[in-house]
Structure 1
Amino acid sequence: MPTAFSFKTCATAASALLLAACAGGSAPALPELPPFSTTLAVRQAWAVHLPAGTSALPPSASGDTVTVAATDGTVIAIDALSGQERWHTRLGTALLAGTGSDGGTAAVVSAGNELIALEDGHVRWRQRLGARTYTAPLVAHGRVFVQTGDRTVSAWDASDGHRLWSKARPPDALMLGKPGVLAMAGDMLVAGVGGRLAGLSPADGGVRWEASVATPRGTDDVDRLVDLTGRISVQDHVVCARAYAA
């Protein structure tokens, strides 16, 4: 497991440096930072304004379409090049987690644990989930994938909403109410909550591999808390992830 070995080696080295710094009598002198000049000019191409008093949820970008939702139930599809709205709808219910979209079907999750699929701004179907989700849905390969807070991953047919499969994973003793990982890596569905990642078959949910990004340490559940932070990065067949360890 080269990736796990590299992670453990880096963690050990960081701990050794931290102990050495704490044991020293004086703070080490830090070198001056080299001159830095920007090499890429960035300008705002367009902006979309959400209703006042709401919060934006994590958007989804697919092809030339950006889909964004707000906590009040507003969902907007935007042309990525021009910033013009393609459609705009208000679901009339509070939303959680964020949006998932493949450019055609968009999916959101309500505060009432309802998975809602939309097409051209119209509700295509709704399905009740068994637990709350903090992770944005993923729309890919004609399916809508959802990961709930109890680490259950499920797949739903994007066209009519019938459930294709559901895979329950062992829950952790203590978990944070924050987004996990749900992404495609080639033909692999990568899902994770806490400090663990799993590669699943999008077709049937079969587990192809599972890995721990961080190892719990400590004497109680709080000390042993580990949690994935941020999004994963995929390059060829390599998945890069980071985790917080108490």
Structure 2
Amino acid sequence: MNKLIPMLPRISVFALVAALAGCSSMNPMNWFSSSPAEKPTPLVEFKPAVNLKAGWQAKIGKAHGYAFAPGLSADAIYVAGYDGQLARLDAGNGATVWQIATGDKLSAGVGIGEDLELVGTPKGKLLAFDSNGKPRWQAQLSSEVLGVPQVADGIVVARTADGHIYALDAKDGKRKWMYEHTLPALTLRSQPGVLITQGAVFAGYAGGKLVALALDTGAVGWEASVAIPKGASEIERIADVTSTPVADNKQVCAAAYQGRVACFDLRSGNLNWARELSSVAGITMDDSNLYVTNDKGEVVALEKTRGASLWTQDKLRARGTTAPHRAGAYLAVGDAQGYVHLLALDDGHFAGRSATDGSAIISRPLPRSGGVVVQTANGNVYALAL
């Protein structure tokens, strides 16, 4: 229990600050500071090595503080917005194939797979539609659905704000199992998803924990500490894993706020390496390296087998930088002013940039056919071509 606010149950720092100061996604580091928010680093001028230009643009609806992410398939892109709209876009030209009103406000999506499109609601409903936009089923979960639902091997996995993970039958939405994780008194509001790989579900939690669950039964395979809370106050002790873990065929890695980046053996959960590095936005991985957006908005590259530092791009500091993602021969990130940046893999220098609508890029850029797809807080979807 938070001693400073004894009458309240578990609370979200983000919710408290957002209520006082509006959207704080620009600079999460300053949610916990009494000093004025750091000004975003001005855009750096550079000679582009690649031309990143808008291929097409579509509209779905504003995010209202939620981190919606497009769902990408071979020939379609599925997008959703807070007001309940769900649409299928043609991947080639962005034309609307269909658009429906789900009948609910939405908080998470779009998860896709096995002829399902999955979205969640603030009231805890998980809604499933087929590729033609027709309702398949819905399931009532315990609280607000956060993070993009995932589907694999006939099982849909979704997580809720109260720390639960649900596994549902992809055919009818019936519950197969549920995992419950006790949360600390004070947490950072975020929308971490789950990672499904090699028959397991990996999820990071408030308090710095990473858990591995059997996809078919929900049995706990192992639990490990990405970070250990430390400090005198509840705020100082926040050490939350606020982003989705990443993995290759040997190890799974996660990052914690006010904590560490750590990689663990995929099967045993034994720690391979860890280093002090605080992150809210998240991480990505390729064949050689791990890339982290730290809590200052800087992008850091680490050698993934040992965690050795390779480079840091500090000219994105305080720009509300998203988690990075590989896009061909580059690393792509978005920022809170609607810019998408391409960074060179060898040393992190700027290689390309494109503007969108001026509102925040709300989830990491997703690679798509020689470019990237992004969704903004104002509800615009852009396909940017290299």
Q: TM-score range by the shorter chain?
A: 0.7 to 0.9
CA distance 1:111–1:229, shift in 2 (3 Å): closer
Write the distance in 2 (CA, Å) between the matches of 1:171 and 1:46.
42
Contact 1:113 1:130 in 2 (8 A): yes
Q: Which string of whole-angstrom CA distances, capped at 9 and with x for unpartnered residues, describes residues 91-111 of structure 1? A: 122111232111620111112
Give the TM-score of the pair, scaled to structure 2.
0.50
- Look up the match of 1:133: 145
CA distance 1:67–1:242, shift in 2 (3 Å): same
Write the distance in 2 (CA, Å) between the matches of 1:68 and 1:236.
30
How does 1:5-44 map onto structure 2 within 5 Å?
37-44=47-54
Contact 2:60 2:87 in 1 (8 A): no
Task: Tell me the amino acid that sits aligned with residue 122 of structure 2.
Answer: A
CA distance 1:229–1:88, shift in 2 (3 Å): same
CA distance 1:196–1:37, shift in 2 (3 Å): farther
Whether 2:165 is the aligned partner of 1:153: answer yes
Structure whose residues are more often helix by fraction: 1
Q: Give the secondary-structure state (helix, strand or coil) at the position aligned to 1:45.
A: strand
Runs of 4 or more off by more than 4 Å in structure 1?
Answer: 53-56
How many residue pairs align between the two structures?
211
Whether 2:59 is the aligned partner of 1:46: answer no
Q: Give the secondary-structure state (helix, strand or coil) at the position aligned to 2:237.
A: coil
Write the distance in 2 (CA, Å) between the matches of 1:125 and 1:147.
17
Q: Report the identity percentage.
A: 31
Q: Which string of whole-angstrom CA distances, capped at 9 and with x for unpartnered residues, describes residues 117-164 of structure 1? A: 111211111111112232221122222111112221111111111111
Write the distance in 2 (CA, Å) between the matches of 1:189 and 1:78.
29
Write the distance in 2 (CA, Å) between the matches of 1:174 and 1:154.
23
Task: Tell me the amino acid that sits aligned with residue 181 of structure 2.
Answer: R
- Look up the match of 1:144: 156
Deviation at 1:54, TM superposition (A): 5.4
Contact 1:181 1:190 in 2 (8 A): no
1:213 to 226, 233, 237: 226
Whether 2:253 is the aligned partner of 1:236: answer no
Contact 2:125 2:141 in 1 (8 A): yes
CA distance 1:73–1:137, shift in 2 (3 Å): same
- Look up the match of 2:135: 123
1:90 to 95, 98, 101: 101
Give the TM-score of the pair, scaled to structure 1.
0.76
Write the distance in 2 (CA, Å) between the matches of 1:37 and 1:241.
34
CA distance 1:207–1:37, shift in 2 (3 Å): farther
Contact 1:181 1:231 in 2 (8 A): yes
Write the distance in 2 (CA, Å) between the matches of 1:97 and 1:141.
21
Contact 2:123 2:143 in 1 (8 A): no
Contact 2:124 2:160 in 1 (8 A): no
- Look up the match of 2:89: 78
Write the distance in 2 (CA, Å) between the matches of 1:177 and 1:159.
31
CA distance 1:171–1:101, shift in 2 (3 Å): same
Contact 1:181 1:193 in 2 (8 A): no
**Unaligned runs of at least 5 residues, structure 2:** 1-44, 260-386
Whether 2:192 is the aligned partner of 1:164: answer no
Q: Which string of whole-angstrom CA distances, capped at 9 and with x for unpartnered residues, describes residues 172-229 of structure 1? A: 2322221123122333211122222111111111111222212100123222101224
- Look up the match of 1:21: none
**Unaligned runs of at least 5 residues, structure 1:** 1-34
- Look up the match of 1:20: none
Task: Tell me the amino acid that sits aligned with residue 54 of structure 2.
Answer: Q
Write the distance in 2 (CA, Å) between the matches of 1:229 and 1:171.
13
Contact 1:106 1:139 in 2 (8 A): no
- Look up the match of 1:112: 123
CA distance 1:208–1:54, shift in 2 (3 Å): closer
Write the distance in 2 (CA, Å) between the matches of 1:184 and 1:37.
40
Task: Tell me the amino acid that sits aligned with residue 131 of structure 1.
Answer: S
- Look up the match of 1:224: 237
1:245 to 247, 258, 262: 258
